[in-house]
Structure 1
Amino acid sequence: MTDLKRVLNLRNLVVFGLAYLAPTVVFNYYGVVTTMTGGMMTLAYVVTTVAMFFTAYSYATMVRAFPVAGSAYTYVRKAVHPHLGFLTGWVMLLDYILLPMVCYLLIGIYMNEFVTAVPVWVWVVAAAVIGAVTNIVGVKLAAGVNTVVVAAQILFALVLIGIVVAFVMQGNGGGTLFDSAALFDPTSFNGPDVLWAASILAASFLGFDAVSTMAEETVDPARTMPRAVLIVPIAAGIGFSVISYFLQIAWPTAATELDDPDAGIFELLVRVGGDTLSTAFLITDNLASMVCAIAGLAAASRILFGMGRDGVLPRRFFGTLNNRFQTPVNNILLMTAIALTAVFYADNLIGAAALVAFGALSGFIMVNYAVINHFVVRGGRRSGGDLMRYLLLPGIGIVVCATLLYNVDVHAKILGLVWFAAGVVYLGVTTRGFRVPPRDIDMSEDDGGVVDESRQPAVS
């Protein structure tokens, strides 16, 4: 593998991370999380943000120790054991594979809200075809597209907050800008429901994990990467919490009044800003979802290509490029077929999101453990300050992520464990019963000749 050109600075990385997690994701989960928590979406986001801080701290610690591309897989492989590293990469791969599915599902649900005569599955198939064709022919997203998409989403959020403020000040909604019940309402609080919601919202914070895969393209990665890895989840968490607060005060009783939680954001937008505002959101969010799906499909197909090329997966299917387009068509079509399972989740956005959350939280637990094993167990760093940095903080990260994972939907846990078991079986076969180290998985998404939209952050 050739050396990558170091061109990315802190701003580039933060923009890339925010583009990857998509700022408007807070609107996507509005209806379902508001219903789940009894109107305490803000509290669920605060809980998730605190939980993600500890994991982000562990990522920042590990990227300083191993400033190379690869993320969770690399950290666990180097700091714990190659076999556990493989399984961590295998579980995290689930996120890359399922991300396009969730994006297509959002497009389908939202378009059906506007054109009810056309069912969700038709929109899902149409979006999947666009994503597949774009990747097959090798169309790259423009270098500045992440900046444009992020700016459009942030602008929409700011405009909506302004509209909500005016709406509430006129005596609508909760009638006040300061309502403690929007954060915590003791009359309807249910701890398990809030934790269940927080486990789903954890998938909203995958941006900082994506940032860590770009270490080899970053200027002064030992200094820049840790800062970016911390800034992205903190900035996102604050933004998500503030936005969700304003959504709650705009419609305090939404938890019991929403007609369709999956598309609940449109009911709120029509209340506060009419059809014009809801149409603006449809355009903005569908653009973000389509860009995210194309990037996710490219990332997944490239990772599978790298695994096939290196013999981790069957080379004949996964490790070949199309002669005409020089893209991994087999992988793109396979990922598209998996993404089309979104049609089975047309009325279950939470179920689809829970699958992504399973892979994310599992990987986060292993990164936290990698910090403890690398610095305390292997490195013998056991002074007072070291135990705080390398044992207590990542230990808290393990506990909170494990708690959230426990609260993930049972069907998602079953499917996730089946995927994990398949990885264990495959690892056992390819390592002669775990007697030899596994082949490396190239999680950096950098394979020459293969188009990779997800690696096109704004470098302007």
Structure 2
Amino acid sequence: MSAMPQPTSVSSSSADLRSSSLGFMETIGQSLANISPTLTPSINVVAVAALAGAGSWLVYGLSTLGLMFVSLNIAVLASRFAAAGSFFIFISRSLGPIAGGIAGWGLIAAYTGTAMGVLAGEAIFVQNAFTPFGIAVPTWLIYVVSAALAWFLSSRDIKLSSRLSLAIEAASITIVGGVLFVVFYQHPERIVDHAQLSLQGTTPKGMAEAMVLGIFSFVGFESAASLGKETKNPLKAIPRAIIWSMVVAGAFFMFVAYSMVVAYGGDVAKLGADTAPLQTLLKGLGAPALAPLFYLIASVSAFACVLASINAASRLLFSMGRYQFVHRSMGMVHTKHQTPHYAVAFAAILSLVVNLALLGTGALNTFGYTSTFATFGFIVAYFLISVSAPIYLKKQGQLKLANVVVGILGAVAMIGGFFGSVYPVPDWPYNLLPYLFVAYMAFGLIWLAMLKKRAPQVLDKIEHDLESSEAAIFDRK
């Protein structure tokens, strides 16, 4: 945080990001990499199966449905104006700068928390890949090298990092999906699995708790919106990227959950307790020697997610820095690479420092703590965007009943997701995380209140600049 800012307007240098450098493929690559589909068969599905059992596929289906409503609300705004700050700008336009600041504050925790969690997941995968060869790779070394490489790539060229992320995720989905198809080839009698389709042994309590994990599997799908200033034809490319990344990921996750239960012979308890599901899967298919290769693929996919999270976090910090909601240095752009290099460095260093601080808890616990905290940030932003979309359309005289229904359903889905994270009360220390998040958000709200009280001119100028920017890029009246 900086000292209370002086009332200055947003610099025109906000356009210094490399404009129109990204096509649709790079844009959807950002969202898919942030989702990191390969994490689901590698680690996420285990946690979901432990709670939802045979209903795991339905958890992912319901999560897809709920977040599809959110994605439609995002598309409403992303198809009308483009911005580097994505939700911060979108929500500020509809509900005012304070609400936008709250969303931005939540998303700082969301994107950096995702980077932290997936960085820990990457460490687990790297160690699983090298342990069979008797090579012990220190967790701290994986953290340092990965964070440094993510910083380097993100600060140099967004196009390169987005294309790299897309290539990694496409290859990972193809390889893992191909292996899971072999499961059905070996067990054709279980293509129609009555135990799963009838939700045998599944409880409402387990389904509710698993929904939070289901939502986390998707978080980051909206991050393509953070590339509004750098995408060609953003008013069309970004909404398409957001919706299609959700469709692809949702179908893949449901297929993964269903087929993994089949691969475990319907023993959901075994799947829910397995710390190395890919290894067990390949052993069951008679190819245990391939496990190190698959964990190496999973680690590369996890790195792509870390990279995408830092890209998204830095664009959010860039926009908030331009409007002086955070230190103005976050809004500076590298003269040569045209990237928000200070914001990139901050996101990468913060992710590394927190993971090193949690080193003693173990990588798996670090993944759980930071990922859960990040999910709360996404839920806040997704809720606010679902409220914002119909309000914005009403202001423009374009509101339809369908927009109201989609907005309500998106907001209700996020309320349900948060409720499932606090009731029934989770075990320690997860029971503390919601309160820590509330304290974090309260600190951000206090900061915004101080900003409003001590420098109200800044908020007035933000309103003016948002109006001006909309007039320049608004596409549909």
Query: Counterpart of 2:91 in structure 1: which amino acid?
Result: V
Aligned to 1:34: 49
Matched, 1:58 2:73: yes
The alignment-based identity, stated in percent, is 20
Does structure 2 retain, via aligned residues, the 8 Å contact 1:198–1:404? yes
Structure 2: distance between partners of 1:338 and 1:83:
28
Structure 1: distance between partners of 2:265 and 2:156:
44
Please give the secondary structure, in 1, of the residue aligned with 2:285. Answer: helix
Does structure 2 retain, via aligned residues, the 8 Å contact 1:300–1:335? no
Structure 2: distance between partners of 1:315 and 1:222:
28
Alignment equivalent of 1:423, drawn from 420, 444, 455: 444
Of stretches 196-205 and 361-370 in structure 1, the one that deviates more from structure 2 is: 196-205
Matched, 1:240 2:253: yes
Correspondence 1:207-356 to 2 at 5 A = 207-258=220-271, 260-297=273-310, 299-300=312-313, 303-304=316-317, 307=320, 311-314=324-327, 327-328=341-342, 329=345, 332-343=348-359, 344=361, 346-348=363-365, 349-356=367-374
Of stretches 293-302 and 243-252 in structure 1, the one that deviates more from structure 2 is: 293-302
Alignment equivalent of 2:187, drawn from 159, 163, 168: 168
Aligned to 2:389: 371
Aligned to 1:403: 416
- Alpha-carbon deviation of 1:311? 4.2
Note closer, same or farther for the CA distance 1:342–1:194 as it changes in structure 2 (3 Å cut): farther
Structure 2: distance between partners of 1:24 and 1:51:
21
Correspondence 1:107-126 to 2 at 5 A = 107-113=122-128, 123-126=138-141
| Cα deviation code 1:335-359 (max 9, x no counterpart) | 3102334533534344432222111
- Alpha-carbon deviation of 1:306? 6.4
Matched, 1:15 2:29: yes
Alignment equivalent of 2:96, drawn from 81, 92, 112: 81
Please give the secondary structure, in 1, of the residue aligned with 2:222. Answer: helix
Aligned to 1:446: none
Note closer, same or farther for the CA distance 1:355–1:306 as it changes in structure 2 (3 Å cut): same
Note closer, same or farther for the CA distance 1:259–1:178 as it changes in structure 2 (3 Å cut): closer
Aligned to 1:178: 192
Does structure 2 retain, via aligned residues, the 8 Å contact 1:104–1:293? yes
| Cα deviation code 1:174-231 (max 9, x no counterpart) | x421113224424x12123212212222122234311112223333333333222221
Aligned to 1:453: none
Structure 1: distance between partners of 2:284 and 2:354:
36
Structure 2: distance between partners of 1:113 and 1:93:
30
Aligned to 2:474: none
**Structure with the largest fraction of helix:** 2
Q: TM-score, normalised by structure 2?
A: 0.79
Of stretches 18-27 and 84-93 in structure 1, the one that deviates more from structure 2 is: 18-27
Of stretches 367-376 and 129-138 in structure 1, the one that deviates more from structure 2 is: 129-138
Task: Quote the RMSD (CA, aligned, Å).
Answer: 3.4
Query: Counterpart of 1:85 in structure 2: which amino acid?
Result: G
Aligned to 2:38: 24
In structure 1, stretches of 5+ residues that fail to align are: 170-174, 442-460
Query: Counterpart of 1:239 in structure 2: which amino acid?
Result: F
- Alpha-carbon deviation of 1:124? 3.2
Structure 2: distance between partners of 1:139 and 1:215:
18
Aligned to 2:109: 94
| Cα deviation code 1:374-411 (max 9, x no counterpart) | 223x34556xxx12x22111101111111011112543
